[in-house]
Amino acid sequence: MKRMLSGIKPTGRVTLGNYIGAIKPFVSYQDEYEMFIFIANLHSMTVYQEPAELRKNTKDLIALYIAAGLDPERVTLFLQSDVLEHAQLGWYLGCMVSMGELSRMTQYKDKAAKNEVIGAGIFNYPSLMNADILMYDPDFVPVGEDQKQHVELCRDVAEKFNSRYSDTFKVPTPLVAKVGGRIMDLQNPTKKMSKSEETSKGCIYILDDINISKKKIKSAMTDSDNSVHFDKENKPGISNLLEIYSILTNRTIKDIEQQYVGKGYGEFKGDLAEIVGEELQRIQDKYKEITTGSYLDEVLKAGAEKARPLARKKLAKVERKMGITITKR
């Protein structure tokens, strides 16, 4: 069985973009792959997190993974900070990457362009991400489009390490869905839907009030053409809604376009609002069921126990090869 690994930061509330670009694909892969899915809480520290909020967002994220359909019996679900080896491997790999490579990462570049004070963590975090991935030798890393560049850097680092110290890491392949890999802001469809936007009108949060989310779909920015067809360049708003529709119904965009020939945006958006509403309702019902009692703690404990032995073994191998360990352990 091929292996997959991915993670999400518990920063802010989980968005429809995270759900469509990451969580939903994870659920669809779990029958075919051996999966490692984690909560990237070390990554969330690149910007200040109010501690109580971080705790809540972390719990919500693990609950959402399960509420969305991930089965902890089959998938290794864990909290990054429970496996200490990530940070240590991140240090070694950080020493193998150049300032130039890190400066080319879009997320860092975007922040740098804003001329604000930037924490060193934002600059360095791709190295920690490389460690998260290479630790477990996954064949594939499913991510949204914005993270593809990081997985490509990870491939370069793996190859560099393997050629310098002999074969140690599997070189992973990023997996970005053709549809849904970049869900856009509903009010500004040329920008990615993101939890960090100042106004939240263009962003749907999975645990938000469902009526508010439906309204956001109905008032999404579109064009004046009133014909439902996919054209990312000239009709970014409607194309974004078509991608959301397609992923949530498992239907092709072509098929959906056919259904709306001769019908206007009002009907299309109304139907999509219902589809989004039903999906959120299903997740929220399940979320309520699993957030009482100690179930989530047990899942995290079991997940960490499955991940740790692999991480220990990999780190020991890395340290042996690099000359860090001087005695046989």
Give the footprint of ligand TYM on this chain (CB under 6 A): 6-9, 17-18, 20-22, 40, 43, 129, 132-133, 141, 143-144, 146-147, 181-183, 192-193
CB of 296 to ligand TYM, least distance (A): 19
Return contacts of 233-236, CB within 8 angstroms, 24+ apart.
236/184, 236/189, 236/190
Hey, what are 156's tokens? 């370069």
* Closest separation in Å from C-beta 133 to ligand TYM: 5
Q: Toward ligand TYM, which CB reaches closer, 148 or 160? A: 148
Q: From residue 92, give the alpha-carbon distance in Å to each of 48, 89, 113, 131, 246.
A: 25, 5, 28, 9, 42
* Tokens, residue 143: 């991510």
The answer to whether 117 and 46 have CB atoms below 8 angstroms apart is no
* DSSP β-ladder status, 173-175 and 34-39: unpaired
Nearer to ligand TYM, 15 or 222 (CB): 15
Closer by beta carbon to ligand TYM, 40 or else 256: 40
Which is nearer to ligand TYM, 7 or 260 (by Cβ)? 7
Nearest distance, CB of residue 17 and ligand TYM, angstroms: 3
The catalytically annotated residue of 9, 24, 192, 216 is 192
Is-contact 20 244, C-beta < 8 A? yes
* Catalytic residue check, 111: yes
The three-class DSSP label of residue 8 is: strand
Of 176, 269, 254, 156, whose CA–CA distance to 223 is shortest? 269
Token reading at 88:
């240590």
Which phi and psi angles does 12 have, rounded to 5°? 70, -170
- Shortest CB 177 distance to ligand TYM, Å: 8
- Smallest separation (angstroms) from ligand TYM to the CB of 2: 16
Which position's Cβ is nearest ligand TYM? 21
- C-alpha span between 135 and 85 (Å, rounded): 9
Q: At what angle do helices 265-290 and 210-218 cross, to 10 degrees?
A: 160
Min separation Cβ 329 and ligand TYM, Å:
27
Residue nearer to ligand TYM on the CB measure, 176 or 228:
176
DSSP annotation of 28: H
The residue (of 22 and 97) whose beta carbon lies closer to ligand TYM is 22
Is the Cβ of residue 8 or residue 66 nearer to ligand TYM in the bound state? Answer: 8
What is the 3-state composition of the chain as percent helix, strand, coil, each rounded to the nearest 5? Answer: 55, 10, 35
Q: Shortest distance, CB of residue 302 to ligand TYM, whole angstroms?
A: 20
Please pick, among 59, 148, 195, 218, the residue that the annotation labels catalytic.
195
Output the CA torsion 134→138→148→230 (10° steps).
-170
Catalytically active residues, by annotation: 111, 192, 195
